[in-house]
Structure 1
Amino acid sequence: MSVIGCKQTPTQSASHQDVLKDLLTQKTFKSVPEAIENTVEPEPEPPKPYKAPDIWQHIAQNLSFEQTPHPRLKTRVEWYLSQPEYLLTVNRRASPYLYHIVKKIEQRNLPLDLALLPFVESDFRPLAVSQQSAVGVWQLVDATAYHFGLQSNDWYDGRRDVLASTDAALSYLQYLHKTFKGNWLHAIAAYNTGEGRVKAAIKRNRAAGKSTHYWHLKLPKETADYIPKLLALSYLLKHPQTGFKRPNLNNTPSTTMLDVGQAFNFGVLAQLLDIDKQKLHDLNTGFLRHQSPEQGPHKILVPLSEKALMQSPFYREQFSRSYSVKLNDTLYGIARQFGTSVKKIKQLNNKQSNLIRVGETLLINRANLNRSLTVDYQISPYLEQQAIPKKPTIEHHHTIVSGDSLWDLSQHYQVPLKDLLDWNNLQAASILSPGKVLILHLPSQANPQPKAHTNEPSYLDVLEGALQLKEVPKTNQPNLPPD
């Protein structure tokens, strides 16, 4: 079996012509006996990563997928070389999030090559929507997002939340990696086209005595081009001498995740943090309205370093308490007592050393939520927003026939998959048995068959359609009312 290994490769030097010549020669993969092919090979011990002050250099130095010469890979390299500014442009969208994504990947001991997937999937567009209704930088469909814990409701769509969707996507990739016995190229192909298609392609090749290496599998054209895009980008990052421009981005976070601890209004929070409200919206595209859901999530990415956030008046007021240093106290002991860290105490108090004095007053990280951060739109005519009225529904019964799937039914009846699961006490992975009756709650004035709209929809209609996986609003955000 040809398993894609993980090996540490430093940045190499190569000319444009050298790269294309190297990638043109295709290797031949011999058929492997099935008994050996099904053997689960042990995972190699992850190497200690290189460290670099620039995050793109850090990524390039730690890329580990092997580069197998192939004409399709050469074609993708040529395309990237014809767009030498590509990564500079896309990096502007990725820069607030990339440090956090890299850290999440490293914390799970996964290959750093996975940090390139959002660029291949969506050109790092948080609002991207595919023809198959996959959403966000990681292009997750509703069923996958739900299965791996992403929330979705009228107020929030976790697929559009860059960092929340990263957690779900990495969990999905880990599952696929295990499913395909440690073969990362099979796992990533399945991420793009579904594990069923990749398993079927492997089964066909195995039955015909052919190699099951990714390059020999018969897959849909989109997937056949998908892996070469990833490997070509990886190759050029390691060979910037070819003329492909690698961005410069400090390997430090420029944004910080703040757990507000309660429902919040974007305008109120932006004012308290002295941050532009629209910038706060742009960083947190998972939130669909001006306020967070009452039941959460209440975590928000703010355009401040951790130190700047902790020294802001808002943080000092809402998320800290005073502590008077006692005899024999140490910063380490105080940090353990309050469940925080020495680093955070020093940042909060702008201390350069660990020295403290008896009687000294320190600020300690501890939530002190003593004010509401929301706006009651129903009693504030200046900020009032239109509420979407609850539509009357009727109960509709659908009898399962062979070939039905939960996803297809949610699309057919234009209802969120989560609602379909809740109405019938099902899980996303539930198997439908022919003859079983499903319950659906459909608008009373609507025909169960999908019906096209004839009038130009309002923004709220478009938003509702997006929540039902038809499309998403074309603009990043609606025009926000003044606070």
Structure 2
Amino acid sequence: MIGLLILLLCACQSTKPKAPTQQDVAAISQSLLLTQTTKENLKSNSESTEIAPVKVLPEVAKKPKITDLWLRISTKLSFANDPNERLKKRLNWYLSQPNYLVSVSKRASPYLYHIVEEIERRNLPMELVLLPFVESDFRPEAVSSEHAVGAWQLVNATAYHFGITTDRWYDGRKDVLASTHAALEYLSYLHKRFNGNWLHALAAYNSGEGRVKKAIARNKRRGKSTNFWHLSLPKETAEYVPKLMALSYLLQTEHPNFKRPKLPNYALTSPLDIGQQFDFSILASISGVRKAALHKLNPGYLLHESSPNGPHKILLPFSEQSLIKSDFFQRYFSQTYTVRSNDTLYRLAQRFNTSISNIKLLNNKQSDMIRIGEVLKVKQTQKFGNLLVDYKISPYVAKVQQPKPLTMEFHHTINDGDSLWKISKHYKVSVKDLLVWNELNANKVLKPGKVLILHLPKANETPKKPNKSVFLSDLEQLVKPETRSNR
């Protein structure tokens, strides 16, 4: 009899639970359960529907390596759900859109691995990776009616408070990786402000800290539960948290009527700090990546060039290994270093602000051993020339090169009020030529009395020297239309 009982118990433990069906969802108000819970949510939901105990499975001696990023995400989701009508409504919506996550995941694919890594580094709940899907359907350039911007839908004040830069060149709210750092900082702050209750923190992320605090205080005065599901919040916020919870539930349970995307469990893109102001055209030329592709991956940059004050970091469509082994990286972002006494790969990684794996990749090394006198390549941005384009010069270049005309050297003495643009316009030469002929840079201030050299087409008549009245006339032609438009 005892042997039979043991046999029955073992059989119960080895029985694999069936995948949920549509009928399970229809009856979710009575039977919705999760296979995994967190201490924080057990505490926050203890006042509402009781959660069934978690079934403990025997540990596997060696876990297989996870090669799919969405599987990695799914196995680390942990929030507990309360069975209720709001959650059931969101589940039914997702089940009516079975390809939703597959479709949106395509937009998220260049960034998702980086977000997962950052969430794990901060030891935050994996549910937060789903927030950009709920907020914006993962649209980096989305703008709400309340002027929240980007995949994480940050308003300007919050973004500024958590370190996001915004100017006419760059809007960090549209930069997915930069806004991820700011959003996770904000969520961590809200988690502390709401005493470790993630549902309250998520509600506050959507509708504001003050509104959620007032709802909690109101329920306390009335002797009601302060559990999220019992709070009186705006309709958008009341439905916002269930959206995330329903998505989490469907991923954890692998519902047969909801398709889970597939992505490789490694970064498809790599961030790289160019180290100086750059133009997308020049960067496209030296990296071999199309300019349109660079702009699409980096929607935070609003113009053709980065801001003079930075940031100058860009996301490239290469895996880390491909980037490091590329001619582009080895030529512009590496230098040689001769190993000295007491050097280790760890110390070199610290010194050159890189990682041991990067140094090994760069040098095709399999081991961590290095020897004195060994020459290694290490990450180090080289000094570039100018990476900017002068858009005052026509971008159109003749396909057939004409023979160069004969020229003569002409000297121009700088007067008060002269500028490179005025001089180039008068002599019908480009600013670029003026800079090359006189070894100047574009920001050089012209000093009266200095002589500029010009190479002008040879003609029968020497061009007349410009005077102040000529420049005044040019200036008036530029100012008058603007003055009329301002009026």
Using the size of structure 1 for normalisation, the TM-score is 0.69
Q: How far off is 1:14 after superposition?
A: 2.0
Q: How far off is 1:316 after superposition?
A: 1.5
Partner of 1:123: 137
The answer (yes or no) to whether the contact 2:45–2:227 under 8 Å persists in 1 is no
Alignment of 1:243-322 (within 5 A): 243-322=257-336
Partner of 1:17: 23
Residue type of the partner of 1:99? Y
- Take 1:148 and 1:327, find their aligned partners in 2: how far apart are those partners? 42
Name which structure has the greater RCO, CA cutoff 8 Å, separation 6+: 1
Comparing 155-164 with 362-371, greater Cα deviation is found at 362-371
- Take 1:224 and 1:32, find their aligned partners in 2: how far apart are those partners? 19
Partner of 1:84: 98
Q: How far off is 1:372 after superposition?
A: 2.2
Q: For residues 136 and 328 of structure 1, do their structure 2 counterparts lie closer, same or farther at Cα, with a shift above 3 Å needed?
A: closer
Partner of 1:468: none
- Take 1:97 and 1:304, find their aligned partners in 2: how far apart are those partners? 12
Among residues 212, 222, 232, which one is paired with 1:208 in the alignment? Answer: 222
The answer (yes or no) to whether the contact 1:11–1:238 under 8 Å persists in 2 is no
- Take 2:17 and 2:108, find their aligned partners in 1: how far apart are those partners? 22
Please list the CA deviations of residues 440-480 of structure 1 after superposition, one character each: whole Å capped at 9, or x if unmatched: xxxxxxxxxxxxxxxxxxxxxxxxxxxxxxxxxxxxxxxxx
- Take 1:314 and 1:11, find their aligned partners in 2: how far apart are those partners? 52
Secondary structure of the residue aligned to 1:297 is coil
- Take 1:224 and 1:128, find their aligned partners in 2: how far apart are those partners? 22
Q: For residues 11 and 179 of structure 1, do their structure 2 counterparts lie closer, same or farther at Cα, with a shift above 3 Å needed?
A: farther
- Take 2:114 and 2:18, find their aligned partners in 1: how far apart are those partners? 26
Among residues 242, 248, 262, which one is paired with 1:234 in the alignment? Answer: 248
The answer (yes or no) to whether the contact 1:50–1:62 under 8 Å persists in 2 is no
Q: How far off is 1:129 after superposition?
A: 1.1
| 5+ long unaligned stretches in structure 1 | 1-9, 34-48, 384-483
- Take 2:334 and 2:45, find their aligned partners in 1: how far apart are those partners? 63
The answer (yes or no) to whether the contact 1:25–1:71 under 8 Å persists in 2 is no
The answer (yes or no) to whether the contact 2:345–2:356 under 8 Å persists in 1 is yes
The answer (yes or no) to whether the contact 1:24–1:71 under 8 Å persists in 2 is no
Please list the CA deviations of residues 291-345 of structure 1 after superposition, one character each: whole Å capped at 9, or x if unmatched: 0001101111110011211122222222211123467865445445545433111
Q: For residues 356 and 84 of structure 1, do their structure 2 counterparts lie closer, same or farther at Cα, with a shift above 3 Å needed?
A: same
Please list the CA deviations of residues 101-142 of structure 1 after superposition, one character each: whole Å capped at 9, or x if unmatched: 111111111101000000000000011111111111111111
Please list the CA deviations of residues 417-461 of structure 1 after superposition, one character each: whole Å capped at 9, or x if unmatched: xxxxxxxxxxxxxxxxxxxxxxxxxxxxxxxxxxxxxxxxxxxxx
Partner of 2:387: 373
Among residues 108, 112, 118, which one is paired with 1:104 in the alignment? Answer: 118
Q: How far off is 1:16 after superposition?
A: 2.4
Q: How far off is 1:149 after superposition?
A: 1.2
Please list the CA deviations of residues 192-217 of structure 1 after superposition, one character each: whole Å capped at 9, or x if unmatched: 11111111111111111111111111
Secondary structure of the residue aligned to 1:202 is helix
The answer (yes or no) to whether the contact 2:150–2:173 under 8 Å persists in 1 is yes
What is the Cα-based RMSD across aligned positions, in Å? 2.8
Would you say 1:114 and 2:128 are equivalent positions?
yes
The answer (yes or no) to whether the contact 2:152–2:179 under 8 Å persists in 1 is yes
Q: Give the paired residue count.
A: 358
Would you say 1:66 and 2:72 are equivalent positions?
no
Secondary structure of the residue aligned to 2:115 is helix
Q: How far off is 1:352 after superposition?
A: 3.0
Q: For residues 12 and 101 of structure 1, do their structure 2 counterparts lie closer, same or farther at Cα, with a shift above 3 Å needed?
A: farther
Using the size of structure 2 for normalisation, the TM-score is 0.69
Secondary structure of the residue aligned to 2:27 is helix
Alignment of 1:79-478 (within 5 A): 79-325=93-339, 331-332=345-346, 334-335=348-349, 338-354=352-368, 360-379=374-393, 382=396
- Take 1:31 and 1:254, find their aligned partners in 2: how far apart are those partners? 38
Secondary structure of the residue aligned to 2:205 is helix
Secondary structure of the residue aligned to 1:160 is coil
Q: For residues 240 and 184 of structure 1, do their structure 2 counterparts lie closer, same or farther at Cα, with a shift above 3 Å needed?
A: same
Q: How far off is 1:376 after superposition?
A: 2.5
Residue type of the partner of 1:286? G
- Take 2:163 and 2:64, find their aligned partners in 1: how far apart are those partners? 32
Q: For residues 30 and 86 of structure 1, do their structure 2 counterparts lie closer, same or farther at Cα, with a shift above 3 Å needed?
A: closer
Partner of 2:475: none
Is the helix fraction higher in 1 or 2? Answer: 2
Task: Decide which structure has the larger Cα Rg and report it.
Answer: 2
Q: How far off is 1:365 after superposition?
A: 1.2
The answer (yes or no) to whether the contact 1:12–1:239 under 8 Å persists in 2 is no
Partner of 1:471: none
Residue type of the partner of 2:206? N
The answer (yes or no) to whether the contact 1:52–1:251 under 8 Å persists in 2 is yes
Aligned-pair identity (%) = 57
- Take 1:162 and 1:336, find their aligned partners in 2: how far apart are those partners? 27
The answer (yes or no) to whether the contact 2:268–2:317 under 8 Å persists in 1 is yes
The answer (yes or no) to whether the contact 1:122–1:138 under 8 Å persists in 2 is yes
Comparing 233-242 with 160-169, greater Cα deviation is found at 233-242
- Take 1:88 and 1:117, find their aligned partners in 2: how far apart are those partners? 16
The answer (yes or no) to whether the contact 1:190–1:197 under 8 Å persists in 2 is yes
- Take 1:73 and 1:93, find their aligned partners in 2: how far apart are those partners? 26
Comparing 230-239 with 51-60, greater Cα deviation is found at 51-60
- Take 1:95 and 1:368, find their aligned partners in 2: how far apart are those partners? 30
